[in-house]
Amino acid sequence: MSQHRHPGAPGRAGAVPVLPDLPEATVARLPEYLRALHNLADAGHETVSSEGLSAAAGVNSAKLRKDLSHLGSYGTRGVGYDVALLIEQIEYVLGLTQRRAVALVGVGNLGHALAGYDGFASRGFRIAALLDADPSRVGEEINGLVVRHVDELPAVAAEESIAIGVIATPAGAAQRVADQLVAVGVTSILNFAPCVLSVPEGVDVRKVDLAIELQILSFHEHRKASLTALPATGGSALTALPGGLAATDTQEAIGT
């Protein structure tokens, strides 16, 4: 870490400097820091310490400092971080300086909500197209955008460069849509359908499954309940599991 802040390489548009390859865990936290920083900026703070920022983002302060150090970091010892500068750094690294176009496929229950979600626009993204396979939905106007048929994807991609595809279709249609997105050059996909997508190498897929989150919470609920129910049992049969339970009432729930 000899010299950062080397004056050269401003390179407004072209010549993107090579990005440091951040740990994936760090990348996942940067948006969190960014949000906290925006809040601080709105509240009028000019600088913030790692302690303060980590509290606002809900993480350990040492972790925050290490995360920021990975991107070269511009903190000042004894003072803290310049809020505005740090916002820029993170937005640059995350590639948010350009407003990326998002294509949303599947305008059902969830798709409708996503199309109207202002959190996208406010954080550097622009929904460029709404698509659906159902002809009865094509033509509908949502939030100022007209729903087009998914087969028009090539045309949409030709009109403007789609950076990210969002899949909000039923599981059965998701793989097909993913293939179509890949075919028109999309290399980043956010998948809300509860299924595994297979995509060629070089394409990033992130998955959000609302039911999975609930199931994880359910586990912890179950766990808490089982612990408070048997507070006496010290450390004896930790590996105990139901086992025989298959015979009784679960049968009617599963069956055929």
Partner DNA sequence: AGGCGCTTGTGAAGACGTGCACAAATCGCG
Partner DNA sequence: CGCGATTTGTGCACGTCTTCACAAGCGCCT
SS3 at position 16? coil
Q: Which of 121, 127, 123, 161 is nearest to 142 (CA)?
A: 127
Which among 60-68, 100-108, 163-171, 189-197 is the span making contact with DNA, rule CB under 7 A? 60-68
59-67, 102-110, 202-210, 223-231 -> range binding DNA (CB under 7 A): 59-67
Nearest distance from residue 153's CB to a copy of itself, in Å? 18
Residues facing 80 on adjacent strands: 76
Nearer to a copy of itself, 183 or 223 (CB): 223
String marking each residue 36-55 x if it binds DNA according to CB under 7 A: ------------xxxx----
Q: Which of 9, 13, 15, 25 binds DNA (CB under 7 A)?
A: 25
- Cα–Cα distance, 43 to 40 (Å, whole number): 5
136 binds, among a copy of itself, DNA, none (CB under 5 to 8 A by kind): none
- Whole-number minimum distance, CB 229 to DNA, in Å? 24
Q: From the list DNA, a copy of itself, none, pick the one residue 68 interacts with, judged by a Cβ distance below 5 to 8 Å according to partner type.
A: DNA
Of the pair 74, 120, the CB lying nearest DNA is at: 74
**CA–CA gap between residue 46 and residue 27 (Å, rounded):** 24
Residues that contact DNA, how many (by CB under 7 A): 27
User: Any contact of residue 89 with DNA (CB under 7 A)?
Assistant: no
Distance CA(19)–CA(46), nearest Å, equals 26
For the chain, what is the radius of gyration of the CA atoms? 24
Nearer to a copy of itself, 136 or 236 (CB): 236
Q: Give every CB contact of residue 33 below 8 A, 6+ residues apart in sequence.
A: 53, 57, 64, 67, 68, 86, 90
The piece of 21-29, 30-38, 190-198, 221-229 that touches DNA (CB under 7 A) is 21-29
**CA–CA separation, 27 and 22 (whole Å):** 6
Pick between residue 66 and residue 207 the one whose CB is nearest to DNA. Answer: 66
Based on the shown chain and the rule CB under 7 A, indicate whether residue 61 belongs to the binding site for DNA: yes
Phi, psi of 173 (to 5 degrees): -95, -10
Burial class from Cβ neighbours inside 10 Å (0-12, 13-18, 19+) for residue 181 reads: buried
Per the DSSP assignment, residues forming a β-bridge with 165 are 103, 189
- Our finding on whether 69 is near DNA (CB under 7 A) is yes
Residue 252 in the binding site for DNA (CB under 7 A): no
Binding-site ranges for DNA (CB under 7 A): 1, 23-26, 48-51, 59-63, 65-66, 68-69, 73-81
